[in-house]
Structure 1
Amino acid sequence: MHICSVNITRRPRSHTGSRGHSRYLHETQLLLRVGHLPYYMSDSNTANFTNPSTFILLGIPGLEAAHIWISIPFCIMYILAILGNIAILFIVKRDPSLHEPMYYFLCMLAINDLVLSTTIQPKMLSIFWLNSREINFRAFLTQMYFIHTLSSIESGIFVAMALDHYVAICHPLRHSTILTNSVVAKISLAVVLRGSVLVFPHPFLARQWPYCRTNIILHSYCEHIAIVKLACADIQVSSYYSLSVAFFITGLDVFFIAVSYTQILRAIFILPTKDARFKTFGTCSSHLCAVLACYIPSLFSFLTHRFGQNVALHFHILVANIYIQLPPTLNPIIYGVRTKQIRDTLLRLFSRQGSLSFLVVL
């Protein structure tokens, strides 16, 4: 194992600018460990390298000794995400009665969650288990692009599902004529293209900056702002574009979901009986739970980063890991438990398997 020394050059005052960057420089005045050897991040004016080809993901700084224990719940989440989303795809494929727009969007969500989990978790677990912290710069940019793109697509899928619920409740007689297979395919394509195109400049902007301070990244996965903060240049273009895309996607999606549910609630409240209102609203419960599981941890992470200046760095990283990995784990559980058609199909499959096993034993 080799020992590396890392020097951080202080930015000129004109480039420091933001309170977040000052906080970042303050946090890096600590002893960080890679493997079992320390990296001392000093405030020297010399630099040993320029534009390194590899970077080092520290995992969760300050909690290196607990990485093995921290990895256990994340590993369980990954297994549940893989099994749960594959189960959703299998159930929808097997049952022709589920070949409807809602379940097509659900399958799209399951595929998105499978790819998102697999993009993040294997590398993160290798950091926790094997101290495999180095990552090629191109690999970093690739993972970063997929993480942000898939997160954007997930948000767009929730909007598409909200639209499906709106049409099903407010225009039930026209549902099959409005949301045809062709329309569903166009909506799905638009959701994918929106996320892919809007995030596309991120890796190119990150790649153009010169890096001469350090190759140590205080994170457990490839996050956009975590890398551009290390640049020896004014990163306002990257920062403003990243913030604009986040607000545009999240703000627009939350707005459309809110408008959809406003119309849905209006339609529900005019139903004649309480049972009818409760049953109709129950059809939206799975979607609402999934939306809350996606947006609430994300909002909490944003608020702690923006206003929690005294919150420990490892807490920020833990929250960031949870909010991006929780939805792929919870979505199949939420839809499996709260959606009657999926639950009934799953029970039929298990009962059929049990009957076949019993006959084989006999």
Structure 2
Amino acid sequence: MLLDTSAKTIEGVTQLTDFFSYRFAGESLVHREYVSVAPGSYQYLIHPSERSLSWLSNRVDGHSYRRRIASLGINALGSTQPSLLGSVPGVRSVTLEVPRTCQFDIAVVGMRIKVIDYRRERVYTLPLAREHHENIHEEVRTRRNLPPSIDTPRVLDADDTFPYFVEELCDGRTPSNVVEDWDILREGLRQLTPLHRETRSVWVPTEEAIDQAFEALAASELSNDPVVNHTRTFLDQHTLPNELRRSRIHGDFQTGNLIVQDDRVIILDWESSRIDLVLVDLFDPFKRHSIESDDGGPLADLILRTGAFRAISDDLRTGFGPLAWGDNTYYPALPVVYLLLQLAHDPPESTHSRNPVYELLVDVLADVM
């Protein structure tokens, strides 16, 4: 795949070149226009069409005003003059030579690369870097062993050498709000229940899990940190379940990894699947939404059970509590346990480093203590 010289500086383009040379070797090439845009933590290569920009608009939409304004702007441009996106400040226009049989519409670059081809209704997934090759192998193994209750795109092909895998394109709406779209999230969690129950499942004493988290933080830059001390005080003041279930989880269950297609709720992106506590899947959607808030957001609302979160917390305790923590009691402190464990898993490298989980823990404690 030959490129504009300027395109070589765009993250992921070199890897795309290698992939196309491997997967579509010997095929003729065609010129295709793209724009490079990075509205958040991902880099996107978009062929500017109404469908592609509608997808991007839906993808960047969220709880914050910044995300909603960006989403509305992209959507308006897509429905009127898609080709004008390249003239927007911060957006780069590039011409790529791509295989005639894979004139892709969207490439999403994060820890790995997803290539979406609308015409062939295919999604190709490949690693961004060589050290992530095993992640591709592991996801294919996970996907092929999922319980039948889980609605996820079919894996159509996989190559262990490059590596990459191909799945069917499932188009639809991406939910964006944990309150407005709670029914969708609840259905996704219901689909995951057999995975949580049937795989290598063990019960972990809650006190042991918390103690291990505090020990990990004591050995990090957060040793004697006041927020960590406040967390300990808060947990000491609240009743917790005796045990927590550890089993196979999705690992990144949130609105951005769901697609609603007619009456289907489809769960995407299994690269983070691992053996961990089930409550990670239960509270992950609220963390993403809370990070976009100016306060403790939905996680604080779950603790306080305010407004719509009273009904949501009731759904969590009755529908998923017995599986995740052994009974149908709602324990308001569990979101703080979840944040503590997340922070201990990936503590900041220094007290000056920005860490979204740490900052969220600060906001949540400020709201509930």
TM-score range relative to shorter protein = under 0.3
More helix by share: 1
TM value normalised by structure 1: 0.24
| Structure (1 or 2) with the larger CA radius of gyration | 1
